[in-house]
Structure formats: structure tokens, C-alpha cells
A and B are shown apart, each in its own frame.
Chain A
């Protein structure tokens, strides 16, 4: 449909306003991450919107205990929290994707596990806070507290609904001619699944895995309850970056926040096409 010129002007003005609101918080953090201490601690009239003397000292600080700019030093660097976030999110994704993909195929092709779609949506419906007491007790009993593998297990279960629903809609959409041809040739059904279906579904599998990874990587509450010291994740570690001597270490926190924010944003843009499907449990496709 052809639109009028005033409408186009209005459209661009509105979009630019929305872009400004969207970007200011993000750019502020980017700016803070590269500011030296004198600038990130400035307030009010001394506030600088963009670093006058950009520096990497905030990154140096979180990775290497200290810098010569700051009198405080860190007991723990950010290396292990980053490792913890990475390991728990990656293996959580592996658990969710393996169980979810297998179950989705079982339901989509053989009608097994009719209870799963609803049971998994219910799992998503409940606030994690409302089931954490038994989980904390069970995890303590199984010696899983404060470990990345304990986190990975709970992440795998929490994101299972998304893995399952995404893969189910992908399997439902997939044409079955090739699978059926292979069956006629005498392949077993398991072989058809592992040798034909899965390789064909490589791209959807990758998108679903990235989607699940973003969700796992984004967790804060579960890690806050299940990790205390050894294997805290990035967001939990970030909160500990304030000392009584310096108050909030804005620069260091911003640097770490940037490190945490970059991977999911890039991945999210990469799988943009499937975001709607993932977020609506496959109810909507783009």
C-alpha cells in the first residue's frame, strides 16, 4: 500500500524515538565499561556521556585482580564465573536439546508421550521461586549445590519445554516423504531418525540450541540460590563487585555486564527468524 509523505515522516520520527529509548541504556553501559575511574564515578554536572579517555582498565581489573588505578583488589577474578556460566549453559542446553529433541520426535511421529506438551507448558508456567525449596534440598542431598553440573541439570530441565516445543513444530513441519522412502528401503525407524532426520534438521536444531542457550545463559535466580562461592555465574558474581571502600564498582560491573550481554544479543540476531516460534511455544511461526 502506498503511504503518504506525512505518514512516512511520522513513521521515521516514531522509530527514531524508539531507537533512542532502546539504545541509551545499552550504550550507557558500553560507555561506562570503557571509562577510567574518574569518569565512571562522576555524578551530576561532571557526568560524561562518552569516555573522554577510553581505557581497558575495567576489563583488566575483572580479569587480573587489580589495576594501578584502583586501590582495591579482587579475591576472585571473573574468569571462573565466566567459565561457570559457560559450562552450565552449554551442558544445560545439551540436556534440554537431547531429551527435548528425542521426545519431540517420539510424539510427532509415533504419538508417544501425549501428556508431555501440557506437562511442559505447566512446568514453564510456575515461578521457579515456587519450586526452589525442594530443588535446593534435593540438590544438597545429591551433592549438586555450588557446582556447574548441578546448575546444568536444573537448566536442562527448566528449558526442556522450549527445546521440546521448538523441535516438535520443526518435526511437524518437516515433509515425511524421505523418511518413508527410507523405511520402504528397509531402514529401521531408529536409523531413519539418527541417519536421515537429524542430519536433515541440522539448521533447525542449531537455531533451537542457540535459543535454549540464550535462556540458560540469562538465568540469575537459580544460580543465586544454588551457587554460593566456587561456581557462581556471571550475574551472581557481578553483585559481589561492590566493596565497602569504593562502593559500587560501576566500571568493573559495566565491563562484566558487557561481556555477559554480547553473546546472547549476537545469537539472538542470528536466530531472529525463529524467535517468535520459540517464544510462543510453536503457536506462531514467522
Chain B
């Protein structure tokens, strides 16, 4: 009670100091936020307009005219109609979805399982915790290189398999179109399960212990306690963790590109790899701009929908 009254009186005190300099705070606030506003504008407004402009032309950096003269190469909306018929684009999108649908749930379940093991104290907890978090701190490109080495046909993964089976195994993981996607997903799960573990453990620790004890006394078993108490309490945290991984997984590039370069053929070509290849190899930037804008628009719609949904969830008291 006393803490509450103290805050109120401080607020009054703060209010009393304000009239002395009515807009000093507002002016300082404006000046402090200005650099960030400029950077955001610099990277969003102008580039978006430029992208929109280029996307309705055939412009490429090799076309010999500056991008501002791209209107000379106006192609009505051919880039967008091409995109609708671009099977390589759609299969890249589909592959990105498959990677996401395998990796994110796998990371979530493994992370949740690990988090439940770490929910209470036990000897060695801190050191195990630190080590288990290491993969997410490894530079993704370096992680990609690690798994590139591990999955060589004469490499350690096959060596372990050979020892288990007893006969030499030489699976060409990265050059087999069916297996390369699996290898890439294994690398992603290795690197990002720790993130799920970290976030979900933070949520798990916040579950009130007295409720758990009460439920135990009432005869609830571990699974019932988990479903009726832990999961509802962790709902928001689970949504946040999944949202972060879905967003980041959609962008998947570094590890994958180093391991397979999107190959063999297009076997591991996800959306980022596809755009990268069209940008740097085919150099048709007008078309790339159209792809990029299409993705940005779809993502924005999803984002607005998700934010509204989350705002609604926040209004309901937990």
C-alpha cells in the first residue's frame, strides 16, 4: 500500500515541475528521436519508392542507363505477370514453407523439452545452460561451414553412421537433391533450438509454484499440470517464440547458402537464395524489385493482422 501512495505523490511532484518548462521535454524528445526517425525514413520511404519505380521496368545495372531513367524501359506490369507464372519462384516459396514447417516445430518441441528439464535447480545447471546456448551465438555463416564439413561424404556424420552400422557409409548428403534439404534443416535446428530453449525457459520459470503444488495436492499428474497450468500461463511467450522463429526462418540464407549454394540444382533454393541468384547472376533488377515488393506487401499484411491479433490478446486480462 505504501509503495502505491509513494508513486502517486511522486507523480504529483513531477507534475509540479512541468509548468516551469512546458515544452522543454517535448522539444528534447523530438530532437532525441530525430536521428532514429531519419535512419528509418532513409531505409524505408525512399528505397520503397525506388523499388516500386524500378519494378515496372526492365532496368538492370548493365542496361547502360541510370536507374532514374528506368522509365525508358517501362514494361507495363510485365514483371508482376511474369512473377505469377514463374515456377522457380513458386517452388522456392514452397521449399521455404517446407523448411519452416519442419524446423520451427522441431526447434519448439526440442526447446520445450530441454526447458522443462531445466525448470528446477540441479547440480551443474549453470554450466550446462551456458554450453547449450552456444550454437545460437556462433556466426551463422561459420555454422554453415561447420555443417558443410560434417556432411561431406567422407566426413564425421558418415563416420559415426559407419561405426553404428558396421559397414562404411558414404552418403553424399550435400549433393543428393533429396538429402541436401535435410542436411540444411539439421543445421538450422542445431543453431536455433537454443533460442527456443532460452525463451521458453524464461517463461517456464515464471509459472507460479504454489499453483503447481496445489494442483499436485488435488491429484493432478505431471502431464495434467503441464496442460492445465503451464501451457495457458505460457501462451503469450510461446506465441512470441514461434513468431520470432517463423520470421527469421523465412529469411533463411547464410547457413544454407554456404552449405549448398541453393543446390544441387535448385534442391535447396529458398526464397532468399532465389532472390540472391536473380540479383547477382541474372542481374534483372527490375524483376527482383517486383519480387521483393510482392514479398514485402504479403509480409506487411501478415504483420498488420498479427499485430491486431496480439493487441486484442493483450486487452484480455491474463
Contact = CB atoms under 8 A, between A and B. Distances in A.
Interface of A: 1, 3, 8, 11, 14-15, 18-19, 21-26, 28-29, 32, 42-45, 47, 49, 95, 98-100, 102-103, 105-107, 109-113, 116, 118-138, 156-157, 160, 164, 176-177, 180, 183-184, 188-190, 193, 214, 217-218, 220-221, 224-225, 234-235, 238-239, 250, 253-254, 257, 260-261, 264-265, 267-269, 272, 275-276, 279-280, 283-286
If over half of B's interface residues share one DSSP class (helix, strand or loop), that class is named, otherwise mixed; here it is helix
A18 B48 CA distance: 44
A26 B146 contact: yes
A120 B303 CA distance: 12
Contacts of A234: 139
A125 to B, nearest CB: 5
If over half of A's interface residues share one DSSP class (helix, strand or loop), that class is named, otherwise mixed; here it is helix
Contact of B141 (A105, A121, A189, A220): A220
Given A129-B272, A235-B141, A19 B240 contact: no
B251 interface: yes
Contacts of B209: 1
A127 B142 contact: no
A116 B36 contact: yes
29 contacts: A14-B117, A19-B132, A21-B190, A22-B134, A23-B134, A25-B143, A26-B146, A28-B146, A103-B36, A106-B29, A107-B29, A119-B40, A122-B300, A129-B272, A129-B276, A129-B279, A130-B292, A131-B43, A131-B292, A133-B285, A133-B289, A177-B10, A180-B10, A189-B25, A218-B140, A221-B254, A221-B272, A257-B142, A265-B137
A99 B247 contact: no
Contacts of A136: 279
Interface stretch (B74-82, B99-107, B147-155, B175-183): B147-155
Interface in B109-166: 113-114, 117, 120, 122, 128-143, 145-147, 149-150, 152-156, 158-159
Contact of A137 (B67, B132, B276, B280): B67
Contact of B138 (A113, A157, A265): A265
B113 to A, nearest CB: 8
Contacts of A220: 139-141, 253-254, 257-258
